Amino acid sequence: MISMAEYIWIDGAKPTQRLRSKTKIVQLGNTDEPTIDQFPDWGFDGSSTYQAKGHSSDLVLRPVNYVHDPIRGHGNYLVLCEVMNPDGSPHESNTRAKLRSTLEKGAAKEDAWFGFEQEYTLFRGRTPLGWPEDGYPAPQGPFYCGVGSDEVFGRQLVEEHMELCIEAGLMIYGINAEVMPGQWEYQIGYRGIDEETPDALTTGDHNWFARWLLYRVGEEYGVNATLHPKPVRGDWNGAGQHTNFSTKALRSPETGRKTMEKYIERLQNKHKDHIQVYGADLHDRLTGAHETCHIDEFRAGPSDRGASIRIPLKVHQEGYGYLEDRRPGANADPYVVAERILRTICDL
Ligand code: ADP
Ligand code: MN
Ligand code: MN
Ligand code: MN
């Protein structure tokens, strides 16, 4: 069978890396579920993606995960790749390889699960959806989880994106309209389904696939999703990527409470290191207002939406479960966030 495989990778743009992709026609034999090594390595021009100088520009795309392509349909694939140097070592922009290495150094045995709440803002041209060309919409209040054409903007695109994620087999957990008009959220990761593996690599991969689908479906609507953490200045909520995580010890009724205390202390001690890698322009969002804790402070608490680390109500009551890191910006790299959390809580 001849298939279209969309090879997707993350470029070297600074300070925020972006997605790239190109199509390879592949012959996969008589199977709907190929193994990842049936997709051959491929190359690209790294000098056009901020990943190489012009005189030695060839870099390697190594397929590491694939899903069914819900846009091109049956028999076609989205293939996520790591970027490698010609000698086979990971390219310096390859943040997934750094996460793999931290898992191998000891984090993997903690059996961590992740869930990312990816917020984003839909723009047509320079204006967020639902905003007048000049001036501002009504103040925030009715838009979060709203319904009705005066409160919710872009639902058709958002629904289509969710369906594409489901068809692709991504671990999408839910969606909701956000506090600022034109702003939305999807969640990717742990969702309590038995045969799924919500580990850091898989959930990170799934969020990058879901981002790619969001931009791609936006093309059909002439609408662009931005992950900027503060897309509109002033009294408007920013966009984050709350990162929920648990380990075997945190999920266990016997060890949960003690583990929670230990993790929070470690996270507090490393606050500055986390802030540094939680996305560009984070200070614009972490102001202490709009459901955030100020960037220079660390607070952890039950149900507290002004905390750095929120302990969900049920987790606080029962003494085990998961924690929510509310600091990462919408534009943060989920591999980098997960890697930093694992290194801190496992004390590696
Ligand atoms: P919020 O109340 O903060 O808006 P959401 O309902 O948007 O939370 O999202 C909940 C997130 O928590 C999802 O991403 C989900 O995958 C994640 N999650 C739930 N339970 C766990 C767990 N045990 N370990 C890791 N992540 C979890
Ligand atoms: Mn949420
Ligand atoms: Mn949210
Ligand atoms: Mn949240």
Please report the pLDDT score of residue 27 as a whole number.
Answer: 94
Q: Are 69 and 77 contacting, i.e. CB atoms less than 8 angstroms apart?
A: yes
Residue of 322, 323, 327 best suited for mutating to test ligand 1, as the one with most atoms within 8 Å of CB: 322
CA–CA gap between residue 137 and residue 122 (Å, rounded): 15
Assess whether the C-beta atom of 241 lies below 6 angstroms from ligand 1.
no
DSSP type of residue 283? H
Residue nearest to atom 23 of ligand 1 (CA): 322
CA–CA gap between residue 288 and residue 265 (Å, rounded): 21
Note whether 131 and 20 are same-domain residues.
no
Note whether 116 and 71 are same-domain residues.
no
Please report the pLDDT score of residue 30 as a whole number.
Answer: 85
Largest CA distance in the chain: 60
Stated pTM of the model: 0.98
Note whether 299 and 168 are same-domain residues.
yes
Q: Which helix (H) or strand (E) holds 44?
A: strand 42-45
Number of neighbours of residue 278 by Cβ within 10 angstroms: 25
Please identify every stretch of the chain with a pLDDT value under 70, giving residue numbers as ranges: none
Phi-psi region of 321 (alpha: psi -120 to 50; beta: other; left: phi over 0): left
| The ligand 1 atom nearest the CA atom of 187 | 14
Taken in order 41, 45, 46, 50, the sign of the CA dihedral is: negative
Whether 99 is in a domain gets the answer no
Please report the pLDDT score of residue 4 as a whole number.
Answer: 98
Among candidate residues 93, 116, 131, the one where a domain is terminated: 93
Q: Are 189 and 172 contacting, i.e. CB atoms less than 8 angstroms apart?
A: no
Assess whether the C-beta atom of 334 lies below 6 angstroms from ligand 1.
no
pLDDT, tens digit, 9 for 90 and up, residues 244-258: 999 999 999 999 999
Residue of 119, 162, 165, 173 best suited for mutating to test ligand 1, as the one with most atoms within 8 Å of CB: 173
Please report the pLDDT score of residue 141 as a whole number.
Answer: 87
Assess whether the C-beta atom of 218 lies below 6 angstroms from ligand 1.
no
pLDDT, tens digit, 9 for 90 and up, residues 59-104: 999 999 999 999 999 999 999 999 999 999 999 999 999 999 999 9
Three-point CA angle 336, 110, 91, nearest 5°:
30
Whether 101 is in a domain gets the answer no
Note whether 81 and 220 are same-domain residues.
no
Whether 132 is in a domain gets the answer yes
CA–CA gap between residue 276 and residue 299 (Å, rounded): 17
Q: How far is CA 136 from the centre of its chain?
A: 29
Note whether 220 and 260 are same-domain residues.
yes
Query: How many domains are there within the chain?
Result: 2
Note whether 11 and 123 are same-domain residues.
no
- CATH number reported for the structural domain that contains residue 311 in this entry: 3.30.590.10
Please report the pLDDT score of residue 1 as a whole number.
Answer: 84
Assess whether the C-beta atom of 117 lies below 6 angstroms from ligand 1.
yes
Residue type for 109, please?
A: K
Assess whether the C-beta atom of 184 lies below 6 angstroms from ligand 1.
no
Cross-strand partners of 24: 5
Between the CA of 185 and the centroid of ligand 3 the distance, in Å, is 6
Whether 124 is in a domain gets the answer yes
Note whether 143 and 248 are same-domain residues.
yes
For the packed helices 334-345 and 200-221, what is the interaxial angle rounded to 10 degrees?
A: 160
Whether 304 is in a domain gets the answer yes
Please report the pLDDT score of residue 276 as a whole number.
Answer: 98
Residue span of the structural domain in which 38 resides: 2-93
Whether 102 is in a domain gets the answer no
What is the end-to-end Cα distance of the chain in Å, rounded?
Answer: 46
Please report the pLDDT score of residue 100 as a whole number.
Answer: 98
| The ligand 1 atom nearest the CA atom of 185 | 7
Which of helix, strand or coil describes residue 9?
strand
- Which residues lie closer than 8 Å to 101 by C-beta, 6 or more apart? none
Note whether 11 and 149 are same-domain residues.
no
Nearest to 342 by CA among 242, 199, 215: 199
CA–CA gap between residue 110 and residue 249 (Å, rounded): 7
Please report the pLDDT score of residue 133 as a whole number.
Answer: 84
Q: Are 268 and 317 contacting, i.e. CB atoms less than 8 angstroms apart?
A: no
Q: How far is CA 301 from the centre of its chain?
A: 24
Please report the pLDDT score of residue 305 as a whole number.
Answer: 86
- CATH number reported for the structural domain that contains residue 33 in this entry: 3.10.20.70
Residue type for 50, please?
A: Y
